[in-house]
Structure 1
Amino acid sequence: MGVNKNNQLCGSPTDMYVIFRIVKKRIKLHLLKTKKLEKKNLEELLKTKMSLNKAFVTIGSKEYTLHLTNLTLEHLKEQLVEASKEDERGKVLTKITDLNGHDIETDQQLQNTYPLNVYAYFQSSLFYLISNNYYSKNKIK
């Protein structure tokens, strides 16, 4: 096996076959490494996406960690009520805010909140009903 004056490989077909196999193996190894990296990146991306659906919630002085399967306000509210049912018995969830105190009232606002740390506010059911009735009668908002 050798190289001629035009820098072309020359030699027997067997030599050429061996070189082809070596190059082919290197390409296969490169492809395998690339696929492993792609698989690893995909797994990291999935873990990141899963962690994006982890919400940290403060209610009063207690902190809760919620795992949200849907990043919607309705689902967050359901999870909040379920997680705090022992501590907030007889109370109504009235407000959810981000760490800066901005109200979260839509799915879009929730999905734009990062990191997903929120405050949830509960109020006595009776007081909540009375105050809502008063505000609606007097059209105060």
Structure 2
Amino acid sequence: MENARCSVGVCPPENDGSHVFSSGPLYLDALQKCGDVNGFAPKQRYIKASVGKAGKSKLVSLPRGLTERALFLSRLDPATTAADIRDDLAATLSEIEVTCTKLPSRYATCACFHVAVKAEQFDLISDANVWPVGCIFRPFWGKLRAKESVEDE
């Protein structure tokens, strides 16, 4: 190991045996790759989380929060409202709970919507037989920001 090839913060100080390093494998990886980094710090590895499987325990974990999935709808008539979509879905799928928000559209010739349901019901609304002919829909990824809505519920 040559100190001239190591950059500041990448290579560890020389160990005379009196110090014990406790940072584990990440530190050893940096030590082994010290001559090959060319001034760049090696990428850190993150340890993946594990989930417990024990059936009987005195410990109680919290249930997973309710998750929502959403669709982005486009190419609907500009006069369509969020209430129209909710009413249409209620007539088609009676057991579904929908949150619908009208989004600003790039074009004045069509309307766009964010339609959110519980994750378990997402397959019901992502079926092509639910939506009118010519309507485009796809999964909506990310969160809906308040400034993005034109009309709520």
Please, what TM-score do these two structures have when normalized by structure 2? 0.21
Name the structure, 1 or 2, with higher relative contact order (CA <8 Å, separation 6+). 2
Larger radius of gyration: 1
Higher helix share: 1
